[in-house]
Structure 1
Amino acid sequence: MSPEDLERLVTVAMPFGKYKGRLIADLPGNYLNWFAREGFPAGEIGRLLALMQEIDHNGLKPILEPLRQRRAG
C-alpha cells in the first residue's frame, strides 16, 4: 500500500457493475466482501478493490478522511 494507492481510493470510480460511478472508497462492505470471495478483477481496479476491502474489513476507513477533506478543500 502506498500513499498514491490511498489517494486513488478516493478519486477512482467503479468502472462497472451495480455500483458503477461510485468512488472505490464509497463501495459498501458487502460488495467488497463479495469480490473477496469470488475473486478480484485483474489490473489496477482489482488491486484497489482488494485494498479497500482490507481497509473496510479492518475498520480503517477513517484513514481516508484526510484525503477526502484535502480533495474537497
Structure 2
Amino acid sequence: MNPEDLLLLVSKRMPFGKYEGRLIADLPGHYLNWFARSGFPKGEIGRLLTLMQEIDHNGLKPLLDPLRQP
C-alpha cells in the first residue's frame, strides 16, 4: 500500500456504477464486498476499492476521518 492511497480514498469519487460520484471512502460495505466476491476492476480504481474493502471489513473506517477535507 502506498500512503497516498489513503488520501485518494477520501478525495477520489467512484467513476461508474450504482454509486457513481460517491467518495470511495463512503461506499457501503455490501458494495465493496460484492466487488471482493465478483472481482475488482483493474488499475488504480481496483487497487483503491480493494484497499477500501479491507479497511471496511476490519472496522477501520474511522481512521480515514482525520484525512477528510473540511
TM class, shorter-chain normalised? Answer: over 0.9
Q: Which runs of 5+ in 2 are unaligned?
A: none
Q: TM-score, normalised by structure 1?
A: 0.93
Query: Percentage identity across aligned positions?
Result: 79
Q: Secondary structure of 1:47's match?
A: helix
Alignment match, 1:58: 58
Q: Give a deviation string over 1:21-73, Cα, whole Å, max 9, x none.
A: 000000000000000000000000000000000000000001101001xx11x
Work out the CA distance in 2 between the residues paired with 1:6 and 1:62: 12
Write the letter of the residue equivalent to 2:20: K
| Aligned: 1:22 with 2:40 | no
Alignment match, 2:5: 5
Instruction: Using the TM superposition, give the Cα deviation of residue 2 of structure 1 relative to its aligned residue in structure 2, in angstroms.
Output: 2.5
Answer 1 or 2: higher relative contact order, Cα 8 Å, separation at least 6: 2
Q: Which runs of 5+ in 1 are unaligned?
A: none
Runs of 4 or more above 3 Å deviation? none
Q: What pairs with 1:27-42 in structure 2 (closer than 5 Å)? A: 27-42=27-42
Q: TM-score, normalised by structure 2?
A: 0.97
Instruction: Using the TM superposition, give the Cα deviation of residue 3 of structure 1 relative to its aligned residue in structure 2, in angstroms.
Output: 2.1
Which structure's residues are more often helix, by fraction? 1
